[in-house]
Amino acid sequence: MNKKTTFLLDGDGHSVPVKYIDPIDLDRHMMVERVLGMVLFHQKELRKLKRQVVDLVGEYLESVADQYSEKWRGNAALMNFPQTKMVDVKVQQRIAFDERLNIAKSKIDKCLEKWSKNAKHELRALVMRAFNVDKSGTVDTKQILDLRKLKFDDEEWNEAMKLIDDSLMTVGSKEYINFRVRDDARGKWETISLHFSAVEVWEEQQDG
């Protein structure tokens, strides 16, 4: 806080003379302002660092793909020569289903109706969970895809599974970059965390 500051705004936007503010409240205010000032500064620096890292890694991967007249897609584990440092790139695709999923559901319902006497309760529960719509109006992608692992000698079921395959579409992707280090090529990898709460702080030991 600037020494010349004589007023502070309270939560309602009212000006309060500093001389009337409890010293504890004033000290807390000054501490929070100082801490957030430091954090916001480093947040900008971290964004700048991330942009630089993403660009450098992306340029390298694209250059490798270019050598084979391709575009880069997918994951990569990039290591230095002694294999003690790694840049781990993971691309997570977001998938959804088009309108053919509803037709697949109708066919699956017919199968369950047809198998009513022999269909296991677990199968019915699995189908119901897979097609259960959440609050955002979306279905459980993983559980629907898991239905394809079930093999039945039934034409309608197989048609439904093909419809699920055909209805799949990629609606976006997100790239994650992690960093790992280790002492030697046979050592255990340690992840370098840039998440503030996950960073451990050790007190430096004083020489006696």
Residue 207 reports pLDDT greater than 50:
no
Of the ranges 1-5, 50-54, 91-95, 109-113, the best mean pLDDT one: 50-54
User: Mean pLDDT for the chain?
Assistant: 88
Average confidence (pLDDT) over 50-72: 93
Give me the sign of the Cα torsion angle 61, 63, 65, 67: negative
Q: Residue 172 pairs with which residues in a beta bridge?
A: 94
Specify the pTM. Answer: 0.64
The CA distance from 40 to 109, in Å, is: 54
Mean pLDDT value across residues 178-195: 94
Note the pLDDT of residue 202. Answer: 63
Instruction: Using alpha carbons, select from 132, 134, 137, 111 the residue that is nearest to residue 123.
Output: 111
Per-residue model confidence (pLDDT) at position 125: 85
